[in-house]
Amino acid sequence: MNTIKTNKTYICIILMTFFRYLGDCFFYAYFVLFLKDRGLLESQIGIITAITPLVAIIASIIWNQFAKNVNVNRIMMIIITIIEGILIFNYTKATLFRSFIFITIMTSLIGSPFYSLHDGFCEAYAEINNKNYSVIRAFGTLGYFIATLFAALILYLSKDNYDILFYLATGLFVTTSLWFIAIKPLDLSLIGKEPKRDYKAVLKNKIFWIFLIVDIIIFGASYGADSYISLYFTNVKNLSVSTWSFIFAGMLAIEFGIMIISNKFIHINENIAIIIYGLSFFLRSFLFAFDLPLPIIIVASLLRGVAYGFYFPYSIKAIKNICGIRNVTCALFILFIFKSLFKSIALVSFGTIIENVGYYKFYLLSAFVILVGVIINIIFNIVYKFKYPKYNE
């Protein structure tokens, strides 16, 4: 009976993740194109997109006061995803620059902690029930992949009406809460005593700080560059939004495939996975910096799938080894705050850089920043013999 209940909960978590990411793609993956379609410049788009990680710092501190354990986080996520969906709907009614700023502030304040809470909850469930987190996360990527295919068709038939995508995102975000209601609270006694957040232990952990520095450099630079990739293909390479959607779907298909295959057939440690992640993003940005033939650029764009295919499942494992299972949630919050600050600086500056020097030089700069993070990570791994020292709980 317990096995049946466990499998039902596992399916609910997978479906919840799938539908949440499905809605996420309809909104966040097309947000920059939506703003451009509304007549905003790259510098204005940079300001708006930079608001999200900046406000997320404040939001994380506020929400984290209530995040006592993963079961409390479950209730928080039910509330967050409903309100976030309603706010997404309001974007379709906005017309002024300041209106977009206001809605973005509210959306970020409410929704930005969601995935830190989600990852911590899913990792705790996987640990308790002997499941694999990478499978759960892979279905999130699958949701993104399917959403891009639907988005390509919708945009083609509607002549680039982004409002339809945002309506779908609203509905999917709100209904995500129903899956959380179906998921029962976790029995935390199965991993020992009630997990308590130990921020001091995380902040005193030197290995965590090295991991944080590498992550914010690589992820921050690649995230900022990734935010403008849709405009790079549509404005510089003159592709339609629908064609871009299929390219994006290809990235997601590779990401999904790597997560599934690595779970079954590829056995590497977290250190190697993070190195592959950094090198993939460096090579992608470096190739984007040159006016190469379109087929080469499309192949280079697929490296995003390789990077995230290794990053998402293995970064959680790395944090679990470095900080311990009981400190995963608070470690993710700390990492989230620092990454948000770096991403905000990158987004607001990258938009201005693009307007002044163009996309090619912008991606060359991005490649250089990512390379710095990769070099630091390789030196660290040589010193520690490519193995994160495990945290003793």
pLDDT digits (tens, 9 = 90+) for 244-265: 999 999 998 998 888 888 767 7
Prediction pTM value: 0.80
pLDDT for the residue numbered 7: 77
**Alpha helix segments (H runs only) across the chain:** 2-28, 31-37, 42-64, 70-91, 97-111, 114-129, 133-158, 162-182, 199-203, 206-227, 229-231, 241-264, 270-288, 294-301, 303-323, 328-357, 359-383
Q: Which of 159-163, 192-196, 305-309 comes out lowest in average pLDDT?
A: 192-196
pLDDT for the residue numbered 1: 43
Q: Report the interhelical angle of 42-64 vs 328-357 (nearest 10°).
A: 170
Rounded distance between C-alpha atoms, residue 331 and residue 319, angstroms: 7
pLDDT digits (tens, 9 = 90+) for 187-229: 666 655 545 667 888 889 999 999 999 998 998 788 878 889 9
Rounded distance between C-alpha atoms, residue 347 and residue 345, angstroms: 6
pLDDT for the residue numbered 367: 95
What percent of the chain has a predicted confidence (pLDDT) above 90?
A: 48
Residues in the chain: 393
Confidence band, pLDDT 50/70/90 cuts, at residue 293:
very high
Furthest CA-CA distance within the chain: 64
Which residues lie closer than 8 Å to 272 by C-beta, 6 or more apart?
386
